[in-house]
């Protein structure tokens, strides 16, 4: 287990891809990449790995029976928040069983919890099972019959480390295509103090409507406190996959994020060049006359 601790004071390392800033009003956690994971505690098999996506946070490698988690090293307010992250799951493999038609497991969970920065588990709990005083949003790639999973590809809102969707209302929804199809997924999770909303897709354009929402009192779920360690868990069992977080941003205020796709640069430069050429031609004609 590795721990990298830093107080959440005004701290910025833009060149290294990460930002932790704090003021009397708000805290922002931002990792454009994970080349410098300062401010995070990495546990279990979690590690920074260089891939074609750059330096990513790999929660678990594509190996049997692994677990990994990464949490802010100090607590941050979760009484209201907005978070946005990109993830990719690759190299799924293993057996086919239960209510699954394909191999690969188990997914990843965004977690806010007030227990410790070094916590997590394995397998069917996706690293989240058994974490008390917590709320988690799971991106699940394996169907466990005993957890009443609706399918082998769904999102769910969990509380108190309980991943059994048969207890209480089934706050889950099926998603297509599969999370472990090797493509980049984008996820938005927003909490306004009453409702927790989840959005995800492969386009990077924030959907107007949430895929899943749930009314929650998160400070109560955290054990009567507003601050939490925020981050991610993952686990593998008889099936596996690389579970990578490519980038992550968290605001401790309700501030839904809508990052715009980077425009293609090739279209503007020729137009500017043509405009300058036209101006030069007009100037030359006037001077000749």
Residue for token pair 């306004």: 192
Task: Name the pTM for this structure.
Answer: 0.82
Q: Average pLDDT in the 66-72 region?
A: 97
Contact 218, 112 (CB under 8 A): yes
- Residue that the structure tokens 């994970």 belong to: 34
Per CATH, the number for 2-288 is 2.60.120.200
Q: What is the pLDDT of residue 259?
A: 74
Per-residue pLDDT reduced to its tens digit, 209-268 = 999 999 999 999 999 999 999 999 999 998 999 999 999 999 999 999 987 655 544 444
Domain range list for the chain:
2-288
Radius of gyration of the chain from its Cα atoms, rounded to whole angstroms = 22
Q: What is the pLDDT of residue 272?
A: 39
Q: Per-residue pLDDT tens for 5-37?
A: 333 333 333 334 566 565 545 778 999 999 999
- 89-110 pLDDT tens trace: 999 999 887 777 778 889 999 9
CA 39 to chain centre: 16
Determine the pLDDT at residue 110: 99
Residue 210 CB burial class (10 angstroms; 0-12, 13-18, ≥19): middle
């Amino acid at each position: 287990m590795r721990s990298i601790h830093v107080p959440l004071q005004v701290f910025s390392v833009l060149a290294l891809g990460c930002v932790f800033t704090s003021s009397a009003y708000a805290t922002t956690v931002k990792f454009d990449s994970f080349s410098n994971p300062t401010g995070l505690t990495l546990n279990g098999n979690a590690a920074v790995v260089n891939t074609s996506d750059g330096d990513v946070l790999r929660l678990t490698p594509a190996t049997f029976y692994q677990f990994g988690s990464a949490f802010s090293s100090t607590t941050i307010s979760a009484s209201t928040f907005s978070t946005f992250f990109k993830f990719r799951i690759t190299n799924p493999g293993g057996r086919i069983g239960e209510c699954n038609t394909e191999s690969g497991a188990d997914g990843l969970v965004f977690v806010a919890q007030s227990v410790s920065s070094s916590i997590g588990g394995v397998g069917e709990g996706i690293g989240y099972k058994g974490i008390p005083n917590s709320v988690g949003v799971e991106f699940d790639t394996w169907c466990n019959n005993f957890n009443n999973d609706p399918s082998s590809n769904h999102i769910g809102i969990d509380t108190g480390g309980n991943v059994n969707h048969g207890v209480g209302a089934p706050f889950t929804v099926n998603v297509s295509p599969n999370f472990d199809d090797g493509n980049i997924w984008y996820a938005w999770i927003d909490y306004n103090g009453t409702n927790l909303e989840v959005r995800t897709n492969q386009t990077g354009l924030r959907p107007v409507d949430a895929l899943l929402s749930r009314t929650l009192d998160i400070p109560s779920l955290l054990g009567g406190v507003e601050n939490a360690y925020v981050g991610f868990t993952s686990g593998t069992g008889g099936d596996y996959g690389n579970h990578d977080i490519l980038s992550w941003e968290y605001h401790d205020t309700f501030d839904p994020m809508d990052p715009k796709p980077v425009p293609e640069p090739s279209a503007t430069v020729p137009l500017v060049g043509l405009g300058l050429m036209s101006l030069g031609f007009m100037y030359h004609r006037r001077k000749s006359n």
